[in-house]
C-alpha cells in the first residue's frame, strides 16, 4: 500500500511538472503522450470520481488509477517520452536507474499483488510466474521505495514484519484425518 501511494504520487508529480513545462494547462493525465489503453484507464478513473459525485481533481483521479496503470507507464513504449522527460526524475535525480530495472521490479510486485488480491497461494519457495521468492519481491519493493524516497524506505524497513514472518516459515495447519 505504501509503495503504491508513493509510486503514484511521485510519478504524478513529475508528469505534472513535465506537462506544465510544455505549456499545457490541463492535467497531465489528459496528455496526448498516453497510449489509447492508458487513455481508456484514465477515462474509467474519471468516471469513478464522477459517479461518487465528487469534483474531479488530479489527486482523486490518480487515486482511482490501478497499480497496473503505473507499471505500464514504465514500459519500453514510453521510454522516449514519459520516462526520458518525466518519470525518471521520480527516482532521485533521474540518473543511474534504468527504466528497465524499475519496470521489471514493478512487474514482479504487480504479479504478487494480483495473486494476493485474488486469494491465490503465494507461499512456498517461489511464485511460479515470476520465479521470485517472497523475500526477493520484498527487496524489490524496498529498492523502488529507496529510489522514490529513501526516508520512506527506511521507515518501511524498520516497521515491516514480513522478513520476520518469512523467516519463521509458517505452514498452514492441516486438520488430522478423523480416526
**pLDDT tens, residue order, the chain (179 aa):** 899 999 999 999 999 999 999 999 999 999 999 999 999 999 999 999 999 888 999 999 999 999 999 999 999 999 999 999 999 999 988 788 999 999 999 999 998 888 877 777 776 544 544 456 888 888 999 999 999 999 999 999 999 888 888 788 756 666 666 65
Contacts of 54 (CB under 8 A, 6+ apart): 60
Asked if 147 contacts 102 with a C-beta cutoff of 8 angstroms, the reply is: yes
Task: Compute how many other C-beta atoms are within 10 angstroms of the C-beta atom of residue 37.
Answer: 10
Task: Please name the residue ranges forming H helices in 29-149.
Answer: 36-51, 58-64, 67-72, 84-85, 99-117, 134-148
Tell me which residue has cell 509503495: 3
pTM of the model as a whole:
0.86
Q: For residue 127, which phi and psi values (nearest 5 degrees)?
A: -95, 115
Q: Is the dihedral of CA 141, 149, 152, 68 positive or negative?
A: negative
Amino acid at each position: 500500500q505504501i509503495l503504491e501511494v508513493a509510486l503514484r504520487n511521485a510519478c504524478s508529480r513529475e508528469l505534472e511538472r513535465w506537462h506544465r513545462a510544455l505549456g499545457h494547462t490541463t492535467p497531465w493525465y489528459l496528455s496526448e503522450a498516453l497510449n489509447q489503453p492508458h487513455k481508456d484507464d484514465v477515462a474509467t478513473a474519471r468516471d469513478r470520481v464522477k459517479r461518487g459525485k465528487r469534483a474531479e481533481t488530479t489527486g482523486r483521479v490518480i487515486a482511482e488509477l490501478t497499480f497496473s496503470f503505473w507499471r505500464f507507464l514504465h514500459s519500453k513504449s514510453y521510454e522516449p517520452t514519459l520516462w526520458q522527460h518525466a518519470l525518471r526524475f521520480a527516482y532521485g535525480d533521474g540518473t543511474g536507474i534504468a527504466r528497465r530495472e524499475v519496470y521489471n521490479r514493478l512487474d514482479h510486485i504487480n504479479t504478487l499483488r494480483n495473486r494476493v488480491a485474488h486469494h491465490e497461494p503465494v507461499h512456498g519457495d517461489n511464485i511460479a510466474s515470476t520465479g521470485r521468492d517472497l523475500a526477493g519481491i520484498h527487496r524489490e519493493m524496498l529498492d523502488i521505495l529507496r529510489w522514490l524516497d529513501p526516508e520512506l524506505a527506511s521507515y518501511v524497513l524498520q516497521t515491516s514484519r514480513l522478513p520476520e514472518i518469512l523467516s519463521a516459515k509458517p505452514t498452514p495447519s492441516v486438520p488430522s484425518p478423523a480416526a
